[in-house]
Amino acid sequence: MLAVKLVLHQDIEVVGYHFASAFCTCHPNGCEKTSRRLSERLQIPVHLVRLDEEFLEMIRHQKFGFGHKMNPCIDCRIMTYRKAKTLMKETGASFIVTGEVLNQRPMSQFGHTLSQIEKESALEGLIVRPLSAQRLAPSIPEKMGWVDRSRFKDICGRRRTSQKILAQSLGLLDELKVTGGCRLTDSGFASRMKDLMTQEKWDLHDIQLLRIGRHFRISPERKLILGRNEKENRRLKTFLTEGDTYLTPVSCPGPEGLIRGSVSDDRIAWCAGVIAKYAGSKTDMILKITRDHRKELLTVKALPEINFKPYHIR
């Protein structure tokens, strides 16, 4: 937003593209709301572009490795810029503006990486970074005088002090949020993602499931997911597909459980014991087991934590 403002102040027309994926930290289904808010605050058109499948493909075939967690930032930036290049042509735009800050993020925002990303996305010289422009080699729009480089900033590094001052002067202080990146930079989500990638097949549906619950790898191909609250219990149920088993506490409130894929009766009883433990059950607990359109009741005792702790993905 700050970068766009600096360009708008030079009477340059800007069209915004808000890239979203299953990994972004917008509120679920809130991406549209975010795009609308950006558009209202900046007074420019902002289009929402979902990159769900492209993002998954990029992770599957990433070339430049992962960051501190499971964030493939360099590949991600290349993918985003390639998409932006297509949109630039469709829009009839002359160049791209981003809010990247030199050295702000490890991996993707070091000087040499910014150049590498430009090269890989075939956008050399066509990316303007108003927040750090004075510390970077001039882009084509700066050399050609399409934009006035002297009115851009020289921000560098991880501290956000300069951005805060700028946001205040531009009336955007309330928008300043310091985030560490998408969900792939979150350690819990990253562990679940790493585990998912051990599976031969996974898709967007699986990624969405990673966003809720406690996950347990109960066999190389099977997983148990428990809701952590009522809201997650309700959401968990929407992920039930053919071949899955669903466990619902009956005798006392507690987490509901989804077992992905078919498992033995013994394994179901074991999973029910885990649920009983999280439900805090001190005596026998009754659960409803739903599988293959059949429903039955099962009575179990809570399993000691030591028995299932090694399977908890975190």
Side chain identity, residue 274? V
Give the nearer residue to ligand SF4 in terms of CB position, either 192 or 223: 192
Residue nearest to ligand SF4 as judged by C-beta position: 181
**Binder of ligand SF4 out of 130, 141, 181, 227 (CB under 6 A):** 181
CA 232 – CA 78 distance, rounded (Å): 34
Give the nearer residue to ligand SF4 in terms of CB position, either 102 or 182: 182
CA 54 – CA 80 distance, rounded (Å): 9
CA 20 – CA 47 distance, rounded (Å): 11
Q: By rule CB under 6 A, what string of x and - marks binding of each residue 81-110 to ligand SF4?
A: ---------------------------x--
Minimum CB–partner distance for residue 250 and ligand SF4 (Å): 41
Considering the rule CB under 6 A, would residue 77 count as an interface residue with ligand SF4?
A: yes
Question: What single DSSP character describes residue 86?
Answer: H
Question: In terms of Cα–Cα distance, which of 164, 157, 129 is closest to 6?
Answer: 129
Token pair for residue 201? 């097949």
Considering the rule CB under 6 A, would residue 129 count as an interface residue with ligand SF4?
A: no
CA 15 – CA 8 distance, rounded (Å): 10
Give the nearer residue to ligand SF4 in terms of CB position, either 3 or 73: 73
Question: What single DSSP character describes residue 145?
Answer: T
CA 69 – CA 183 distance, rounded (Å): 10
Minimum CB–partner distance for residue 268 and ligand SF4 (Å): 37
Considering the rule CB under 6 A, would residue 71 count as an interface residue with ligand SF4?
A: yes
Question: In terms of Cα–Cα distance, which of 156, 144, 261 is closest to 200?
Answer: 261
The piece of 133-141, 179-187, 197-205, 257-265 that touches ligand SF4 (CB under 6 A) is 179-187
Considering the rule CB under 6 A, would residue 185 count as an interface residue with ligand SF4?
A: yes
The CA-based dihedral angle spanning residues 117, 121, 122, 125, taken in that order and rounded to the nearest 10 degrees = -40
Considering the rule CB under 6 A, would residue 76 count as an interface residue with ligand SF4?
A: yes
The piece of 72-80, 127-135, 216-224, 231-239 that touches ligand SF4 (CB under 6 A) is 72-80
Q: Where does this chain bind ligand SF4 (CB under 6 A)?
A: 71-73, 76-77, 108, 181-182, 184-185
